[in-house]
Homo-oligomer: A and B are copies of this chain.
Amino acid sequence: MPQNKQIHLDNRPQGEAAVANFKLVQAQTPELSDGQVLVRHHFLSLDPYMRGRMNDAKSYAVPQPLGQVMGGGTVGEVVETKNPKFAAGDKVVGMGGWQEYSVVDGSQVGMLRKVDTAHIPLSAYLGSVGMPGVTAWYGLMKICEPKAGETVVVSAASGAVGSVVGQLAKARGARAVGIAGGPDKCAYVVNELGFDACIDYKAHGDAKSLYAALKDATPDGVDCLFENVGGIGLDAVLSRMNAFGRIALCGMIAGYNGLPVPISQPQLLLQSRLKLQGFIVSEHMEHWPAALTELGTLVATGKLKFRESVAQGIESAPEAFIGLLKGKNFGKQLVKLV
Binding site for B on A (CB under 8 A): 52, 58-60, 230, 234, 243, 249-252, 255-256, 260-267, 269-280, 283
**So how many copies of this chain end up in the complex?**
2
Give the CA-CA distance A191 to B317 in the complex, in Å. Answer: 60
Give the CA-CA distance A230 to B52 in the complex, in Å. Answer: 27
> Nearest chain B CB to A151's CB is how many angstroms away?
17
Who on chain B is nearest to A58 by CB?
Answer: B271
Contact A266 B274 (CB under 8 A): no
Contact B267 A252 (CB under 8 A): yes
Contact A249 B277 (CB under 8 A): no
Contact B60 A266 (CB under 8 A): no
Give the CA-CA distance A268 to B331 in the complex, in Å. Answer: 27
Add 16 more A-B contacts to A251-B270, A273-B283, A276-B276 (CB < 8 A): A59-B271, A60-B270, A230-B266, A249-B269, A249-B270, A260-B264, A260-B265, A260-B266, A262-B266, A269-B278, A271-B278, A273-B278, A274-B276, A275-B276, A275-B277, A276-B277
Who on chain B is nearest to A269 by CB?
Answer: B278
Give the CA-CA distance A231 to B270 in the complex, in Å. Answer: 13
A280 — which chain B residues lie within 8 A by C-beta? Answer: 273
Contact B277 A234 (CB under 8 A): no
A278 — which chain B residues lie within 8 A by C-beta? Answer: 269-275
A271 — which chain B residues lie within 8 A by C-beta? Answer: 52, 58-60, 278
- A and B contact pairs by CB, cutoff 8 A, 6 listed: A59-B271, A60-B272, A249-B270, A250-B270, A263-B266, A273-B283
A270 — which chain B residues lie within 8 A by C-beta? Answer: 60, 249-252, 278
Give the CA-CA distance A267 to B276 in the complex, in Å. Answer: 12
A269-B276 contact given A263-B263, A264-B260, CB 8 Å threshold: yes
Contact A230 B267 (CB under 8 A): yes
Who on chain B is nearest to A262 by CB?
Answer: B262
Which of A243, A261, A278 gathers the greatest number of chain B CB atoms within 10 Å? A278
A262-B260 contact given A270-B250, A273-B279, A274-B277, CB 8 Å threshold: no
Contact A264 B262 (CB under 8 A): yes
